[in-house]
């Protein structure tokens, strides 16, 4: 009786919740996702966690020296602090059935592979060299997120008793019992790193059995990737770029894609970013309808009370309550719906996206067109940038772009004194994508509202056209003149379907202009002849995945297929060469050297949106619906 009452209470609470995560379809998706062994815990890529139980097996290392000992408990990709561990990530399937990485730290130089055997997990630790000074491998147990369970150790194994499941862990190596000086509060096994170490759950398995299981799952991944022909390596790299940053997020009991574990660590456990996570949702569509849908729903759930998707939504409870990021949500939801057409998904997303669309017109209009800004509002976490030009830069997603250098921030307008070509173009495309959704859902009044808004901003955009230059320029509202600091956002009017069509041809000429954007490594985030270009740091010349991707969509929109194909090929070269060279999926890349670890850059070494560089190749080959096609004709 109690269970039935509790279930009824849960059902009622979900029905009356205003969260999109309360939908029955979303709940079913999450139930499917929250299963099995994977690197679910954001705190370490060498920790394997079983869901839904929350039992963890963490691999740690203790380095012994003559006078000191060092302990590495949490292992992450891309740390840059002194004496930090170095991780070269290898392939990782989304479901965790196969993972591989290489670790260098102190005298540790080893590979760690894992695989599934049915419901069980096996791990193989293979040192590339035996440390001169001794190193122990520590197998730590844990019950994460306050889940129910008890942990035990007998002479040769570890045991976890959880509701409905008994988990046993075995190792092929000899267990060391001579070191009580570990700062560990749960049962563990200690093993010398003096040869290969096999670890298995469920039952004892020999090294040969463990190696066979790993080979099987590795072969399964590569057999799957072979279906994509010349894109096979990219398929593995893109999946890996998403999978290492796929986590279980306990606050909201969900599996969710994140841009990177270092960001999650800094932001209190997880962070969802305004435009990043819409892109990640789209990329996930190559592998998983469930993950594409749930990522969108999770992101929309972070909407502020004012109606917009925040710049960032953090695990510590804070959000960017003052600012949003570029309006790409409807564009990506439309493309995901084209892949996986389910009306419940479209219906669920529509009102959230419409609120966001309306917010831009309400809060960011600057003399008839949109400008990036920051809204004075409650600031419960005392974030210092509220109501500043820094925050306005953050809203653009291109934080320190030369486009905004010297541009005043008007506190009365709450915006930059810059009518932004990129923002207005994306907004018009957002209006049109939403209008298509409204038409499918039978919301004729909303369709008219959105088309009227798109047409109004399209008309006002004409004021930014410079017929002599053949492009739309950003416009300085404080000076009454256009700005000649250029970025790839000059291509976004193509995505807005500007008229007349002859303007599109002139804009595309800039794509081939070697003084501006064309070159071996492209697209630079500022024009090559801009005085900031040589810096290459952050948005001053580096190549960024979202700029290439949105430019690619823009070129496809006006059927400039030669240009879009070339951009896809050059983006793929950046992506796959870095993957082969370092195993990195970088946040941004040098447009001078074509690498993601160039010393001039400020670039996260493993940032999920780097997969956008590779995903264009799959669009080119027809593995995604053609982005230039509409859901339904509007006029």
Instruction: Compute the distance between CA of residue 418 and CA of residue 393 in angstroms, rounded to an integer.
Output: 11
pLDDT-derived band at 17, boundaries 50, 70, 90: low
Whole-number pLDDT of residue 576? 97
375 half-sphere exposure, CB direction, 13 A CA radius? 21
Q: Would you state the structure tokens that stand for residue 556, as one six-digit string?
A: 């496809």
Instruction: Compute the distance between CA of residue 145 and CA of residue 132 in angstroms, rounded to an integer.
Output: 38
pLDDT at 57 over 70: yes
Provide the 8-state DSSP code for 176: P
Find out whether 607 and 259 touch, Cβ atoms under 8 Å.
yes
Q: For the ranges 126-140, 170-184, 503-517, 616-630, which has the lowest average pLDDT?
A: 170-184
pLDDT at 14 over 90: no
Q: What value, to the nearest 5°, has the Cα angle with vertex 346 and ends 341 and 349? A: 145
Q: Where are the domains of the chain?
A: 39-226, 517-635
Rg of the chain over all Cα atoms, to the nearest angstrom: 26
Nearest to 147 by CA among 73, 74, 52, 59: 52
- Estimate the crossing angle of helix 329-339 against helix 276-284, to 10 degrees: 10
Whole-number pLDDT of residue 12? 37
Instruction: Compute the distance between CA of residue 467 and CA of residue 474 in angstroms, rounded to an integer.
Output: 14
CA 559 → CA 198, 367, 424, distances in Å? 54, 32, 21
Give the distance from CA 128 to its chain's centroid: 32
Query: Backbone phi, then psi, for 595, in 5-degree steps?
Result: -115, 155
DSSP string, 162-175: ETTEEEEEEESSPP
pLDDT-derived band at 500, boundaries 50, 70, 90: confident
Find out whether 280 and 608 touch, Cβ atoms under 8 Å.
yes
Provide the 8-state DSSP code for 511: G
pLDDT at 263 over 60: yes
DSSP string, 430-482: HHHHHHHHHHHTT-HHHHHHHHHHHHHHHHHHGGGEETTTTEEPEEETTTTEE
The whole-number average pLDDT for the span 163-174 is 96
Give every CB contact of residue 334 below 8 A, 6+ residues apart in sequence: 433, 436, 437, 631
Instruction: Compute the distance between CA of residue 321 and CA of residue 312 in angstroms, rounded to an integer.
Output: 9
Instruction: Compute the distance between CA of residue 609 and CA of residue 603 in angstroms, rounded to an integer.
Output: 12
Task: Give the burial class of 12: count Cβ atoms within 10 A of its Cβ; 0-12 exposed, 13-18 middle, 19 or more buried.
Answer: exposed
330-365: pLDDT as tens digits: 999 999 999 999 999 999 999 999 999 999 999 999
Instruction: Compute the distance between CA of residue 257 and CA of residue 279 in angstroms, rounded to an integer.
Output: 11
Which fold does the domain 39-226 belong to in CATH?
A: Beta-galactosidase; Chain A, domain 5 (2.70.98)
430-475: pLDDT as tens digits: 999 999 999 999 999 999 999 999 999 999 999 999 999 999 999 9
Mean residue pLDDT of the chain comes to 95
Whole-number pLDDT of residue 335? 98
Number of H helices and E strands in the chain, helices first, is: 16, 27
pLDDT-derived band at 179, boundaries 50, 70, 90: confident
Q: Which residues pair with 161 in a beta bridge?
A: 150, 166
Q: Which run of H or E residues covers position 4?
A: helix 2-15
521-568: pLDDT as tens digits: 999 999 999 999 999 999 999 999 999 999 999 999 999 999 999 999
Q: Which residues pair with 271 in a beta bridge?
A: 314
Task: Give the burial class of 556: count Cβ atoms within 10 A of its Cβ; 0-12 exposed, 13-18 middle, 19 or more buried.
Answer: buried
Instruction: Compute the distance between CA of residue 133 and CA of residue 561 in angstroms, rounded to an integer.
Output: 58
DSSP string, 85-148: -EEEEEEE-TTSSEEEEEEEETTEEEEEEEEEETTEEEEEEEESS--SS-EEEEEEEEEGGG--
């Amino acid at each position: 009786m109690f269970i039935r009452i509790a279930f009824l209470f849960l059902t009622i609470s979900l029905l009356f919740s205003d969260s999109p995560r309360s939908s029955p379809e979303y709940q079913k998706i999450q139930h499917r996702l929250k299963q099995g062994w994977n690197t679910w815990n954001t705190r370490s890529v060498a920790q394997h966690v079983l869901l839904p139980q929350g039992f963890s097996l963490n691999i740690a290392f203790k380095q012994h020296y003559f006078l000191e000992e060092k302990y590495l408990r949490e292992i992450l990709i891309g740390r840059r602090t002194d004496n930090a561990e170095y991780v070269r990530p290898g392939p990782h399937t989304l479901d965790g059935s196969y993972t591989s990485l290489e670790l260098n730290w102190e005298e540790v130089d080893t590979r760690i592979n894992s695989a599934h055997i049915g419901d069980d997990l096996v791990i193989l630790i293979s040192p590339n060299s035996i440390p001169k000074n001794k190193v122990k491998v520590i197998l730590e147990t844990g019950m994460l997120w306050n889940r129910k369970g008890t942990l035990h150790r007998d002479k040769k194994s570890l045991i976890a008793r959880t509701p409905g499941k008994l988990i046993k862990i075995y190792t092929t190596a000899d267990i060391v019992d001579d070191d009580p000086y570990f700062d560990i509060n749960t049962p563990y096994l200690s093993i010398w790193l003096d040869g290969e170490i096999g670890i298995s759950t469920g039952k004892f398995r020999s090294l040969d059995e463990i190696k066979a299981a790993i080979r099987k799952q590795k072969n399964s991944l590569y057999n799957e990737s072979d279906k994509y022909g010349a894109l096979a390596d990219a398929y593995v790299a893109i999946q890996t770029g998403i999978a290492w940053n796929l986590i279980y997020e306990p606050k909201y009991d969900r599996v969710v894609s994140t841009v990177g574990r270092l960001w999650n660590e800094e932001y209190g456990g997880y962070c969802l970013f305004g435009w990043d996570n819409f892109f990640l949702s789209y990329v996930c569509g190559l592998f998983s309808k469930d993950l594409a849908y749930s990522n969108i729903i999770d992101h929309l759930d972070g909407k502020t009370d004012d109606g917009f998707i925040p710049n960032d939504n953090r695990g510590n409870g804070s959000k960017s309550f003052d600012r949003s990021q570029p309006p790409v949500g409807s564009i990506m939801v439309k493309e995901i719906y084209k892949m996986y057409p389910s009306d419940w998904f479209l219906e669920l997303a529509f009102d959230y996206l419409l609120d966001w669309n309306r917010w831009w017109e309400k809060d960011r209009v600057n003399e008839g067109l949109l400008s990036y800004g920051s809204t004075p509002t409650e600031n419960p976490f005392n974030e210092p940038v509220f109501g500043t030009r820094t925050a306005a830069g953050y809203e653009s997603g291109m934080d320190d772009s030369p486009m905004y250098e010297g541009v005043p921030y008007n506190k009365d307008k709450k915006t930059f004194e810059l009518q932004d070509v990129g923002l207005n173009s994306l907004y018009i495309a957002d209006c049109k994508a939403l209008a298509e959704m409204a038409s499918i859902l039978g919301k004729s009044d909303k369709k008219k509202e959105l088309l009227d808004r798109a047409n109004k901003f399209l008309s006002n955009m004409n004021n930014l056209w410079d017929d002599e230059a053949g492009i739309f320029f950003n416009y300085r509202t404080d000076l009454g003149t256009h700005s000649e600091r250029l970025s790839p956002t000059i291509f976004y009017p193509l995505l807005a379907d500007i008229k007349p069509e002859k303007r599109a041809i002139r804009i595309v000429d800039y794509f081939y202009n070697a003084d501006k954007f064309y070159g071996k490594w492209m697209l630079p985030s500022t024009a090559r002849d801009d005085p900031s270009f040589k810096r290459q740091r952050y948005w001053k010349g580096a190549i960024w995945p979202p700029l290439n991707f949105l430019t690619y969509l823009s070129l496809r929109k006006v059927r400039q297929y030669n240009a879009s194909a070339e951009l896809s090929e050059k983006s793929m070269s950046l992506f796959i060469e870095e993957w082969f060279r370092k195993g990195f999926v970088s946040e941004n890349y040098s447009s001078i050297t074509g690498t993601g670890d160039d010393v001039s850059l400020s670039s996260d070494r493993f940032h999920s949106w780097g997969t956008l560089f590779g995903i264009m190749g799959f669009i080119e080959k027809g593995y995604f619906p053609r982005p230039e096609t509409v859901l339904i004709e509007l006029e």
